[in-house]
Amino acid sequence: MRKHSRVLVVFALGAVLSQIMLAGTVNIGFLDFSIPSTGQFDIYNQTGSNSVDALFPVTTPVPLSDLSLTVNFSNFTAETFGPDSAYFTPTGDLSFIGQPLATSLSVSSAILTGTFDETSLMLDDGSAVTVQPDFTAILEDPSGTLQDGDYALIEASTIATPEPPMVVLMACFLCGLPIYDRRRSRATRTNGTAETFMIRDRV
């Protein structure tokens, strides 16, 4: 019975921790696809002076680096533009302009990966968050082929930390478990002894 109760306690704590540590995301910018002649990808960084209220709320400038773009074409081939490819050109406001693709093939999807050079961020409501340094943005279209104006959000995954009161409460709960077990065990032994004497008296 004691083992069963301990298992339940572990599952309960796991459920609580999963709720406390649940991380969210915050929008940093977006990857845009356009077709001026052939396909072209541009990165719009919406942090710092480019932030837009609750939609792009990060007021801290967040430079992007180690950018790698993989473009998947309709003929099931792919081309990757790594950090050293010079595919993206900085615009001076943390954004990047891409080059027209050297093919007229339709693009089925694209994957952008990179690194946030700043991970401690201030938001427009005055709050602060810490985010994971790496990101992945996947650009797709329901039709199976990217259309002019398609875009994918560049999101940062926040690192959640437990609220101090909850940490204290959990610590008290965990510290109290051994005491509860000892008292429960003592009570069980006492009840067992009393029942034994009652049986002997009846005999």
Residue 83: per-residue pLDDT: 97
pLDDT in tens, 1-58: 444 444 334 334 444 444 444 569 999 999 999 999 899 999 999 999 999 999 999 9
Query: What is the DSSP annotation of 73-118?
Result: ETTS-EEEE-TTS--SEE-SSS-EE-PPPS--PPEEEEEEEEEES-
pLDDT value for 143: 97
Q: At what angle do helices 164-202 and 2-20 cross, to 10 degrees?
A: 170
The kind and range of the H/E element at 181 are helix 164-202
Cα distance between residue 42 and residue 33, in whole Å:
7
* Cα distance between residue 184 and residue 2, in whole Å: 9
- Band of residue 201 on the pLDDT scale cut at 50, 70, 90: low
125: CB partners within 8 A, 6+ apart: 57
Of the candidates 127, 116, 115, 150, the one whose C-alpha atom is nearest the C-alpha of residue 57 is 127
What does the pLDDT read at residue 75?
97
Residue 131 carries which DSSP code?
B
- Answer whether residue 174 shows pLDDT above 60: no
Query: What region does 92 belong to: left with phi over 0, alpha with psi -120 to 50, or beta?
Result: left
Compute the distance between CA of residue 23 and CA of residue 157 in angstroms, rounded to an integer: 7
Give 172's DSSP letter: H
Q: Note the pLDDT of residue 200.
A: 47
How far, in Å, CA of 72 to CA of 82, rounded?
14
Tell me the pLDDT tens digit for each residue of 80-133. 999 999 999 999 999 999 999 999 999 999 999 999 999 999 999 999 999 999
| Mean pLDDT in residue range 132-147 | 98
- Lowest-confidence segment of 1-10, 133-142, 148-157 by average pLDDT: 1-10
Do 39 and 107 form a contact (C-beta atoms < 8 A)? yes
pTM of the model: 0.71
Which pLDDT score, from 0 to 100, does residue 138 have? 98
For residue 160, what pLDDT is reported?
Answer: 76
pLDDT of residue 181 exceeding 90, the answer is: no
182-194 pLDDT per residue, tens = 555 555 555 555 4
Q: Give residue 113's pLDDT.
A: 98
